Amino acid sequence: MGLLYLGTPLTWDEVKKHADHVRFHGITQFLHTWDRLKDRHGDELLWGDEVEYLVVALDDEQKDAKLSLRQTEILEKLSTICGDISSDCPDSISVPTFHPEYGRYMLESTPGSPYTGSIPDLLSVEANMRYRRALARKHLKRHEIPLTLTSFPRLGVPGPFTEPYFDPADAVSSHSLFLPEEITNPHARFPTLTANIRQRRGSKVAINLPLFFDTQTPRPFVDPTIPWERSLYAEDPEAKAGAALTDHIYMDAMGFGMGCCCLQLTFQACHVADARRMYDGLIPIGPILLALSAASPIWRGYLADVDCRWNVIAGSVDDRTEEERGLKPLENSRFKIPKSRYDSVDLYISTDWINRPEYNDNPLPYDQSIYSRLREHGIDDLLSKHVSHLFIRDPLVVFSETLDQDDEKSSDHFENLQSTNWQTLRFKPPPPNSSIGWRVEFRSMEVQMTDYENAAFAVFVVLLSRVILSFNTNFYIPISKVDENMARAQRRDAAQTGKFYFRKDVGSRHHSAVSSAASSDCSSGCNSPVNGVPAGKEKKMRNCFPDPPLPENGINVLPVEEEYEEMTMNEIMNGKGDEFPGLLGLITAYLETLDIEPDELNKIHNYLDLVRRRANGSLLTPATWIRNFVRAHPAYKHDSVVSAEINYDLIVAVDEIERGVRKADDLLPADYTGSKEDSGSIGL
């Protein structure tokens, strides 16, 4: 999330008038960044995580769990605390940073400074996350807990689900039938985003998740909890007029999606070409890790037939007009746009030869005049398309005070569009006036209930990003197949029963890459080349590698359709036959090129084991575990309804599992000990 300005946000009618101004200057700002930093080389691997939390208030007498709306106070307290603790923060942990998020019941935390490529740093991420959680927990009220649960099961049910209670009738920004205004972070940015999305679209957002039909669920299912007859806002009749589908869970506001929690990772690359290579390499991984981290099977008090948040968020900020959605011929809108501004990536952007043009097979509306401007400035076709595709969107929040900027010093207008294109991967140019390099953010994963799991997924993705760069792996499949995988990833139990398109020969040109490394030195500024790897193993994970080898003469290029096949999660992670080592196999091979102490290696394999076991089905995804918990609850009537009592018991169970006072051997390894010791052991 970008900086939060204090200022006067413009209404949608005003924003519209300034859209071209923001886009024009946004591109000017990008071009300045490009000119300054396109040749920048030699940036180290730095990386960081973002963990989001729900703050839940427990009422043990009433057996109710509600969202606490104290974000503002909590963040104020945490920022004071973080200012004060610099001195008594454990040496190995930088003072964390807490950030606001969309929901007024949410927190986000990041490490205070990024991790380096050292193995001890890699292994510090769990302690870092746990420290952050312990800090948050300690500064909440006694009955409040920070939970890393992707979606709050009873967000938007009739009656109280927040503390304190507010009536949805007051939802002046969203006009929601279900969520009160007070669900949203009060900073002007958030209500304005909410209102301007609705106004730009011309109706409320409409999300329909297929309901999970249990044995006693009425069929057809017409939701009795929708206030079908309300008539407070102009949009109230939409539900009845077709926005709410039978047999589905209907949601009508930004908060349902942006009020979810996720786990994100950002990596710095050596230079822009490597950032583009890493970005592309991680694109096909997005849906795979969405499925494996699936953690959100309950929505608005009902079990859904999906396990993930993705489509909910995509729908929750879908500001496209009817014309853009293809429901009407283009008249006032400029483009037909296939996807919401929150969705999967549409374009591979590496200029590496292995990125065959055939892989970019999605329709790609882009702004022709912006594209031409970028091309005339000397930027290549793919990056020009990437940026001019992001810039088909309108800015959503504009503050009158910041309309005029110094385009050489600011990137705010660029970031305005960039940061409201919420995609599975984000290609992040360096901000002005900083030492930060070109970065890639991996954004698809659902947050896990424990920091052990969050750390395990972080370790896995960090190592995979090193595999991509150091082995020059080739994960390309047509990007339309990645989108098909996104759809499959969200289906119930996809990690166990689904199949995903994946590349058969991931080309690990690692043997040749490693042996030819000494001869093809990286340009100046990079670390020394990998002479003699694996003989002389490396102390840390590097960021700078020699350029990938060019195709050998007479290389046989298969038709694209023969390059990939459908695989199970287990095959993708753990390997298939002699040809495909699996992502974990690649990571193991990469680890062999590093000089790692045996106990460190053990710890890394411990984390990788969680990923392995989730993939082979010997451990459940959080979504399956949650679904099983509900269906086994004595008060569950097998009618898909997650009552307040079930929700309370679920929340308590999740908290107890996290703290290690309750076992869940089908979800976590048997030796998981939990965080109950943390606040004592780290001197809080």
- Nearest distance from C-beta of residue 112 to ligand ADP, angstroms: 8
The pattern of x and - marking residues 212 through 251 that bind ligand ADP according to CB under 6 A reads: ----------------------------------------
Give, in order, the Cα–Cα distances in Å from 432 to each of 35, 326, 403: 12, 38, 18
In the complex, what is the shortest distance from the CB of residue 430 to ligand ADP, in angstroms, rounded to a whole number?
Answer: 8
Residue 555, burial from CB neighbour count under 10 angstroms (0-12, 13-18, 19+): exposed
Taking CB under 6 A as the criterion, the residue among 436, 487, 652, 682 binding ligand ADP is: 436
Residue 281 partner contact from ligand ADP, Mg ion, none using kind-dependent CB cut-offs of 5 to 8 Å: none
Q: Which is nearer to ligand ADP, 414 or 500 (CB)?
A: 414
Assess 114 for contact with ligand ADP (CB under 6 A).
Answer: yes
Q: Please state whether 674 falls in left (phi above 0), alpha (psi between -120 and 50) or beta.
A: left
**Residue 610 C-beta: closest distance to ligand ADP, Å:** 21
Q: 276: part of which helix (H) or strand (E)?
A: helix 272-282
Q: Cα 615 to the chain's mean position, in Å? A: 20
- Nearer CB in complex with ligand ADP: 114/301: 114
439 binds, among Mg ion, ligand ADP, none (CB under 5 to 8 A by kind): ligand ADP
Q: Does 50 bind ligand ADP (CB under 6 A)?
A: yes
Which phi and psi (to 5°) does residue 615 adopt?
A: -75, -35
Q: Give the binding-site size for ligand ADP (rule: CB under 6 A).
A: 17
Residue 153's nearest CA partner among 674, 670, 636 is: 636
Would you say 283 or 615 has its CB closer to Mg ion?
A: 283
Q: Which is nearer to ligand ADP, 111 or 546 (CB)?
A: 111
- Cβ proximity to ligand ADP, 362 vs 423, nearer residue: 423
Q: At a CB cut-off of 8 Å and minimum separation 6, what does 6 contact?
A: 188
Q: Is 46 in the site for ligand ADP (CB under 6 A)?
A: yes
| Residue whose CB is less far from ligand ADP, 458 or 619 | 458
Q: Could you tell me which of 109, 101, 103 has the C-alpha nearest to residue 69?
A: 103
Q: Which residues contact 677 (CB under 8 A, 6 or more apart)?
A: 660
Choosing among ligand ADP, Mg ion, none, which partner's interface includes residue 235 (Cβ < 5 to 8 Å by kind)?
none
Cβ pair 454, 627 in contact under 8 A: no
Supply the minimum distance, in Å, between the C-beta of residue 423 and ligand ADP: 12
The least CB distance from residue 1 to ligand ADP, in Å, is 4
- Binding stretches for Mg ion (CB under 5 A): 1, 50, 108, 140, 264
8 Å CB contact between 461 and 309: no
**Least Å from the CB of residue 185 to Mg ion:** 11
How many Cα atoms within 13 Å fall on the side-chain side of residue 598? 0
Q: Which is nearer to Mg ion, 103 or 301 (CB)?
A: 103
C-beta nearest to ligand ADP: residue: 48
CB of residue 43 vs ligand ADP: minimum separation in angstroms? 7
Burial pattern 183-199, b for ≥16 Cβ within 10 A else e, equals: bbbebbbbbbbbbbbbb
Nearer to Mg ion, 56 or 383 (CB): 56
**Segment near ligand ADP (CB under 6 A), from 191-199, 348-356, 434-442, 617-625?**
434-442
- 611 CA to centre of own chain: 18
Select 112 or 338, whichever has its Cβ closest to ligand ADP: 112
For the stretch 574-581, contacts whose Cβ atoms lie closer than 8 Å and that sit 24 or more positions apart, written own/partner, are 574/612, 574/615, 574/616, 579/504, 579/505, 580/504, 580/505, 580/506, 581/506, 581/508
Phi, psi of 209 (to 5 degrees): -100, 135
Report the nearest approach of Mg ion to the CB of residue 465 (Å).
16
Exposure class string for 542-553: b at 16+ Cβ within 10 A, else e: bbbbbebeeeee
Determine if 49 is a binding residue for ligand ADP (CB under 6 A): yes
Task: State the minimum distance, in angstroms, from the CB of residue 146 to Mg ion.
Answer: 8
Q: How far is the CB of 455 from ligand ADP (least distance, A)?
A: 13
Cβ 44 to ligand ADP shortest distance, Å = 9
Query: CA-CA distance, 469 to 465, in Å (whole number)?
Result: 6
Residue 140 interface partner, choices Mg ion, ligand ADP, none, CB cut-off 5-8 Å depending on type: Mg ion
Helix residue ranges per DSSP H, 377-450: 381-390, 412-418
Residue list 54-113, contact with ligand ADP (CB under 6 A): 99, 110-111
Based on DSSP, count helices (H) and strands (E) in the chain, helices before strands. 22, 18
Give the per-residue contact string, 132-161, with ligand ADP (x = CB under 6 A; - = no): ------------------------------
Task: Considering the complex, state which of residue 43 and residue 453 has its C-beta at the smaller distance from ligand ADP.
Answer: 43
Q: Where are the alpha helices (DSSP H) in 59-204?
A: 71-84, 119-122, 125-138, 189-201
Residue at 317: amino acid letter: V
Residue 350 binds ligand ADP (CB under 6 A):
no
Name the residue nearer to Mg ion (CB basis): 146 or 478: 146
Nearer to ligand ADP, 195 or 278 (CB): 278
Give contact residues for ligand ADP (rule: CB under 6 A).
1, 46-50, 99, 110-111, 114, 264, 266-268, 436, 439, 441
